[in-house]
Each structure stands twice: as structure tokens, then as C-alpha cells.
């Protein structure tokens, strides 16, 4: 009854979408699509071969649509179609990876499809509200994540062993705090930055278009086609941890710009040097031991081949799904060690936004804060005055008093103006920038609203703040996709800040800020 939808077939990376004007709800078009796929193995094999050939001919322009399809509007897309304001349901038969998708979420193995009755019974939602089969679904219908089709490089595996000074000893460090040389107790500024990063990660996981590509990368039978997206996404997520968490109209901080700067200066093996002693490298299948050892071996070799890297060097290997922190001692007789593969992004069925990988990455990024002020000033309209010929009254103040004064300055503009007074004030402002600024809010603490539904708790947090007047209150920050109607302009959106870009002019993922009550 007027429920609009799409019937989609994927072949050779193209998406053939047929518009369906009515009865597109699961018991209508959904059941029709399920019933079109044979469940008998021999019939399925013949059907798959025939259907693939049909769409191959269509792609090559050697045939036309016939029957019912001829009367329906067909559009061929480069990316996976999903729901929007005008389409409520999308059912996709993926002929490439043999997966049945619903609303751009993988549901069943194509060669082990459930009956229409089971299809209607087992549709559930994950922690973020997206379609997923319920746990009661028979395992035979579940999508299978294929094992890696690529074997790790023998050269990289050999590097893992050759750089061990004591081969019988395991280089795997069980405790990330020991590896990083940090206290097990989180500081107040670490807790707040980790909390804000978790909001960002939860915001990404709640966005269907992000998670669709993520899941497709896991299920793809030709994973090499998705590795560039995984590598670039991992790069942005790791760099985000090393960019000051200052979201303000006066500060032109952008993860994309920072990634471009780092790529221009990339070192051996394509390593990105986030700081003089921390580098990033993309890894794949880090939850497989041989692939992990090969990725670590390559990173260790590349670090040793970087002349500017001195002393103890840390590396972050990330696959989006997992992260490994590596520690390399370049001193004579030094060796290396690393963490196991730590879960990075939250799972689809999590009950908490926290993961060991996010905590490890943010603790790695927290080791150095002396350049925070310099970085923020370099991207802001504030400039230092020419150095005075003789010390000013500010230079005569005890450093601890300057730090105390900086702690009482509530707004970012005044804080940065204070930093430009002298080298002493600039050095003493950096610790204040360990606490995030989001618009007019200087964040000092966070809490979870237990009365909220799980879906909200995973992508939002309540923060205690000081505003520009120094008044203490709270704000609610959530991670979300910025949705604009086609007729709207690309202007800035009030109360929202880009997670990766500067502002919201071109942002897709944003932090939405709302003042509220504790």
C-alpha cells in the first residue's frame, strides 16, 4: 500500500536497482526476493550461474531487460543503494559475494537462504539500530567472513624474527601500560579525551553508510579492492587522536589537512610520522597471527630504515577493526615488543562505547603535550607579538603562577591570546589544551546518562563544561551523520562541528552539541 522500495542486484561491483512503488515491506517485496533464490544446492548453483550471466550481458550491452523488469525503472549505481526519504526498504541480492542484504546491512548467506517464514521471524536490530539477524537464527544462514586470501610476505615475516635480539623470548607485551610506560590510573584529561573519542567512534558506528562499507570489507571475497578504503579510514582515525581536540570556528584544524601534510613527509615504507617518536602504518587481518607478525616485522624494519628516528620509537598499526601498538628500541642491542591485536572500533552488539584499542591509542597520543599550544596557534588567527628587548612582567612571574592563571581562563580566544604574551605563557597553556574545546564549551568531565536507550548511550555523552563566561554547566554531545536535503545549501550548521573536517561546510560526520541539565 504505497510502501516504496528497491530491488537490487549486485554484479561486478555495479548495483542494478529496480524501483518498486508499493508493498515493499518485508512480508511483500522482501518475501518475494527471498523466494526468488533457490535453497536446493544444485538448483542454486544453476540459478547463480544463469543470473550472473544475465547481468554480465546487461553490463556489456548485449541484452535488454525483459518481462516485469522492462516496465520498471532501472538505475545502475557505483555504490550500494540504501534507504532515504523516498525509499523505505532496499533488498539486495549480491551476486559477487553471495550475500543477501536488507537496507544496506548483510543478513544471510545467499547459498543458505532461510525460508520466508524464518526470514520474517529473525529480523532484529543491533546495538545501533540497524538490521541484523536475531541470535535465534539457525547458524547455517549466517554470513561467513572469509579467511584471508592473501598470504603474508615472507620478507616481512623474516624481519619479525631477525630484529628480535632474543628469539626464544616472546615480544608480545600483555600490558599496554607497561609498554607505554604510563600509570594504570587515567588522568582527568585522558578520561575526557577518551570519552570524546568514544563519542566519535559511536557516531561513526551508528551511521549506516559508514558501517555498510565496513561490513562489506569484511565479507568481500576480493578484499584487495577494499584495502585502500580500510587504510585511509584507519589513517584518519589514528591521526584524529593526535590532532588537538579543539572544535572552534577560529581554529582551522582538519584531520584531512593533517593527513595530507603527513603523507607529503612520509618515511620508509610509507610510514606516517605523527610525532618525532610515533608513527602510523596500516595493517590487515591483524587478528591472524601470521599477518600480525608480518605487519609488525615490516613496521620494525621501516623504523630501522628511517635515519631521523632515534632512541625509543612507538608505532600504531591499525586495520580499523584492530590496532597493535609497537615499541622499538633503536639503541645498540635494543629489540622490540608489541601488544596483541586489540579491538579498536566497537562491535555491532556492544553495550559499551569503550574498547581496549581506543584507550591504548589515546594513551599513546597523550605522552607528549608540549606542542599542543603551538599547533593550535598555528591554525588560528592569533599571532605572537615581536619578542620584547627585555623581560616583561609576565616573564618575571613564577611558572606555577602562570599555569594557575591559565587554568582560570574559560574561553579559547582569551586563552590563546594569553599564550601569545610570551614563551612562558605559551608553554604553560598547553596543559589546558589537553582538555577539549567544543565551540564555547571547555570540557572538564563526562558522565553517561543511564536513563538513555543503549543506542543513545553508545554515541553520546554528557560533559561538564565552562562556557565563555566561566560559568559551570553541562552539555550533551553526540556523534551523528549530518543530513542535508538536496535543496539545502552547504552552509555551516549551527551547534554542529565536523569530526574530521574543519566546521560543517563539507562535513559528513559531526559532533552535535546541545546545552542541557545535569
- Given a contact cutoff of 8 angstroms between Cβ atoms, the answer to whether 285 and 291 are in contact is yes
172: DSSP letter = B
Q: How far is CA 311 from CA 303, 304, 337, in A?
A: 11, 11, 14
Q: Delimit the domains of the chain by residue range.
A: 5-141, 154-365, 372-516
Which pLDDT belongs to residue 506? 84
Count Cβ atoms within 10 A of the Cβ of residue 40 and give its class: 0-12 exposed, 13-18 middle, 19 or more buried.
exposed
Task: Dump pLDDT digits (tens) for 3-58.
Answer: 999 999 999 999 999 999 999 999 999 999 999 999 999 999 999 999 999 999 99
Give me the helix-helix angle, 188-205 and 356-365, nearest 10°.
130
Neighbours of 224 (CB within 10 A): 10
Minimal CA–CA distance to 431: which of 413, 447, 446, 444?
A: 444
Binning the chain into helix, strand and coil, the percentages to the nearest 5 are: 35, 20, 45
Residue 225 has pLDDT above 80, yes or no: no
Residue 71 has pLDDT above 50, yes or no: no
The dihedral formed by the CA atoms of 7, 12, 13 and 18, expressed in degrees to the nearest 10: -20
Which pLDDT belongs to residue 486? 67
**Cell numbers given for 431:** 596543559
Per-range mean pLDDT, top range of 296-300, 414-418, 506-510: 296-300
Q: How far is CA 508 from CA 204, 316, 471, 479, in A?
A: 10, 26, 31, 11
Residue 385 has pLDDT above 60, yes or no: no
**Cell numbers given for 180:** 607505554
To the nearest whole number, what is the mean pLDDT of the chain? Answer: 89
Separation between Cα atoms, residue 315 and residue 268, nearest integer Å: 13
Minimal CA–CA distance to 492: which of 197, 210, 198, 248?
A: 248
346: DSSP letter = P
Separation between Cα atoms, residue 369 and residue 367, nearest integer Å: 7
Task: Dump pLDDT digits (tens) for 460-497.
Answer: 999 999 776 777 889 999 999 988 766 677 788 888 99
Q: How many residues does the chain have?
A: 518
**Cell numbers given for 323:** 590496532
Give the phi and the psi of residue 159 in degrees, each rounded to 5. Answer: -65, -35
Mean pLDDT within 60-77: 68
Q: Residue 390's pLDDT band (boundaries 50, 70, 90)?
A: low
Q: CA quadruple 281, 285, 287, 289: dihedral positive or negative? A: negative
Task: Dump pLDDT digits (tens) for 184-217.
Answer: 999 999 999 999 999 999 999 999 999 999 999 9
Task: Dump pLDDT digits (tens) for 399-458.
Answer: 888 888 888 888 898 899 898 888 888 888 888 899 999 988 899 999 888 888 999 999
Which pLDDT belongs to residue 61? 80
Amino acid at each position: 500500500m504505497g510502501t516504496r522500495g528497491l530491488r537490487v542486484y549486485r554484479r561486478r561491483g555495479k548495483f542494478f536497482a529496480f524501483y518498486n512503488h508499493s508493498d515493499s515491506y518485508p512480508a511483500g517485496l522482501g518475501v518475494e526476493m527471498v523466494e526468488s533464490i533457490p535453497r536446493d544446492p544444485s538448483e542454486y548453483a544453476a540459478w547463480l550461474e544463469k543470473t550472473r550471466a544475465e547481468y554480465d550481458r546487461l553490463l556489456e550491452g548485449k541484452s535488454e531487460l525483459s518481462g516485469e523488469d522492462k516496465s520498471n525503472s532501472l538505475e545502475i549505481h557505483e555504490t550500494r543503494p540504501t534507504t532515504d526519504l523516498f525509499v523505505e526498504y532496499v533488498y539486495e541480492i549480491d551476486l559477487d559475494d553471495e550475500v543477501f542484504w536488507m537496507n544496506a546491512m548483510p543478513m544471510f548467506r545467499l547459498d543458505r537462504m532461510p525460508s520466508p517464514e524464518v526470514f520474517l521471524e529473525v529480523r532484529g536490530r543491533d546495538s545501533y539500530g540497524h538490521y541484523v539477524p536475531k541470535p535465534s537464527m539457525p547458524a547455517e544462514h549466517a554470513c561467513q567472513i572469509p579467511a584471508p586470501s592473501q598470504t603474508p610476505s615472507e620478507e616481512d615475516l623474516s624481519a619479525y624474527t631477525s630484529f628480535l635480539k632474543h628469539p626464544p623470548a616472546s615480544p608480545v607485551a600483555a600490558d599496554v601500560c607497561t609498554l607505554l610506560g604510563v600509570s594504570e590510573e587515567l588522568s582527568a584529561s585522558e578520561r575526557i579525551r577518551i570519552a570524546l573519542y568514544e563519542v566519535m567512534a559511536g557516531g561513526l558506528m551508528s551511521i549506516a553508510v559508514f558501517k555498510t562499507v565496513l561490513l562489506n570489507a569484511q565479507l568481500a571475497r576480493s578484499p584487495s579492492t577494499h584495502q585502500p578504503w580500510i587504510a585511509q579510514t584507519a589513517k584518519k582515525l589514528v591521526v584524529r587522536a593526535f590532532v588537538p581536540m579543539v572544535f572552534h570556528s577560529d581554529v582551522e584544524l582538519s584531520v584531512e589537512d593533517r593527513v595530507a601534510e603527513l603523507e607529503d613527509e612520509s618515511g620508509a615504507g610509507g610510514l606516517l610520522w605523527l610525532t618525532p617518536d610515533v608513527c602510523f602504518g596500516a595493517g590487515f587481518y591483524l587478528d591472524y597471527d601470521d599477518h600480525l607478525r608480518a605487519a609488525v616485522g615490516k613496521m620494525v624494519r621501516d623504523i630501522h630504515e628511517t635515519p631521523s628516528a632515534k632512541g625509543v620509537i612507538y608505532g600504531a598499526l591499525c586495520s580499523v577493526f584492530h590496532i597493535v601498538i609497537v615499541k622499538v628500541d633503536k639503541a645498540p642491542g635494543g629489540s622490540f615488543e608489541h601488544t596483541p591485536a586489540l579491538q579498536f572500533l566497537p562491535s555491532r552488539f556492544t553495550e559499551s562505547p569503550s574498547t581496549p584499542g581506543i584507550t591504548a591509542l589515546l594513551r599513546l597520543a597523550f605522552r607528549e603535550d608540549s606542542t599542543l599550544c603551538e599547533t593550535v596557534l598555528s591554525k588560528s588567527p592569533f599571532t605572537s607579538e615581536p619578542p620584547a628587548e627585555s623581560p616583561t612582567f609576565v616573564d618575571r612571574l613564577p611558572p606555577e603562577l602562570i599555569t594557575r592563571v591559565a587554568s582560570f581562563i574559560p574561553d579559547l580566544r582569551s586563552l590563546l591570546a594569553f599564550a601569545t604574551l610570551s614563551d612562558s605563557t605559551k608553554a604553560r597553556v598547553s596543559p589546558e589544551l589537553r582538555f577539549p574545546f567544543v565551540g564555547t564549551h571547555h570540557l572538564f568531565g563526562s558522565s553517561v546518562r543511564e536513563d538513555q536507550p543503549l543506542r543513545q548511550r553508545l554515541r553520546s555523552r554528557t560533559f561538564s563544561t565552562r562556557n565563555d563566561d566561566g560559568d559551570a554547566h553541562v552539555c550533551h554531545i553526540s556523534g551523528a551523520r549530518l543530513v542535508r536535503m538536496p535543496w539545502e545549501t552547504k552552509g555551516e550548521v549551527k551547534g554542529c562541528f565536523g569530526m574530521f573536517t574543519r566546521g560543517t561546510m563539507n562535513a559528513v560526520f559531526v559532533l552535535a552539541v546541545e546545552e542541557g541539565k545535569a
